Amino acid sequence: MLAGKKVILGVSGSIAAYKSALIVRGLIRAGAQVRVLMTPAATEFISPLTLATLSKHEVITSVHSEAGWNNHVELGLWADVYLIAPTTATTLAKLAHGICDSALVAVYLSARCPVFFAPAMDVDMWLHPATRANVATLQSYGNYLIDVDSGELASGLNGQGRLAEPERILQTLTDHFSPGDLTGSRILITAGPTHEDLDPVRYLGNRSTGKMGIALAEAAAARGAEVELILGPTELSTSVPGVTTTNVRSALEMHAAAMARWSDCTAGILSAAVADYRPAEVAKEKIKKSDGALQLRLVRNPDIAAELGASKRPDQLLVGFALETENGVENARGKLERKQLDFIVLNSPRTPGAGFGHDTNQIQLVDRNMVTDFELKSKRAVAEDILDRLVAVKQTR
């Protein structure tokens, strides 16, 4: 989404300015063109030479320099987006009130593109009424806040005020340029594991974290979809607009939630690692250890993909996932036919960096006619590949 985009990065004088190097690197890797502006205070924390080397362009540090004087209006017209990160309390105030004493503010006042600002400061400064008012003022002008993170601050305190991590900043810009090609769609996504209780203490489960499903939900919402996310037990969550989360624990609960929502959806992506079996009986008390072997009788759980596929209307699309350790494509195609899926996302836990728990994945997209291989990518990038295929299939209907 950022390939070919023209991005201005404004850096103000925070200790978090060192993260601007990571932001520039990420933008360049994504294929963006980058120009960097720095306040004089920012140059005390990171060298302009560093950012010039990474961006491959001269860094402007003063509106009174030849480059700054000649380019501050031109840059405001050139850019597709202006990102100010980190934005200190001082710079927030100057932006909010138009105090034009730096190239950073001069270009902001000339910019006709969307402006994103990512604050960074100590917790008490962030919570001060003056800062809150300045943030509200900037937002009232149509600028976009990339909210602060919480955690350990440079002062040694813990609380709100940390600059958002570069990955989140870059993802925010990526989402801004998403094509909107799922606008009007309502997508059901299942994610995470299920836990099948043995007794009040123990359960049968798997290693799924829900990362892939959450990435799909956030990517689909960024492209305009309304998302019904049915999320199994996991520490992860999402709060992005457009995603409604239903938390479940067992396969039976996930089945009930999926069946209840399916008729209102235009597509389903079943990324959850649903347990195939559950204990026939759940002990009311903790099962005590004994000298002999423990035997458990298991019964089949409902097949969510098969039931959704059987009830699928001509206007609905259904995507399954297959985690296979052998005969992957053959097994995936068998599943595709049995469950009336439109295509399957196939991966293997034996691929380094793929499968449960990783931030990356490597997939194959399998349909009735072809297999498409992809390289190892972040799970968000994998989600975009899956949604690209979903849109392509939708357009052929």
d(Cα 254, Cα 63) in Å, to the nearest integer? 58
On whether 343 is known to bind a ligand per the annotation, the reply is: no
Distance from C-alpha of 30 to C-alpha of 18, rounded to nearest angstrom: 20
| Sequence-separated (6 or more) residues with CB below 8 Å from residue 325 | 348, 349, 350
> Diameter of the chain by CA atoms?
85
**Dihedral sign for Cα atoms in the order 213, 380, 217, 346:** negative
38 and 47 Cβ atoms separated by less than 8 Å? no
369 is catalytic: no
Q: Would you report the helix, strand and coil content of the chain in percent, each value rounded to 5? A: 35, 25, 40
User: Is 286 marked within a binding site?
Assistant: yes
70, 71, 206, 247: the catalytic one is: 206
Distance CA(286)–CA(202), nearest Å, equals 8
Return the SS3 of 67: helix
DSSP assignment string, 78-142: H-SEEEEEEE-HHHHHHHHHT---SHHHHHHHH--S-EEEEE---HHHHHSHHHHHHHHHHHHTT
Is position 312 annotated in a ligand binding site? no
Residue 276, annotated ligand binder?
yes
- Is the omega angle on the peptide bond into residue 86 within 30 degrees of 0, that is, cis? yes
269 bridge partner residues: 189, 319
Nearest CA-CA partner of 172 in 108, 90, 115, 245: 115
Residue 321 annotated as binding site? yes
Q: Which residues are catalytic?
A: 206
Annotated binding site for CTP: 276, 286, 321, 335, 339
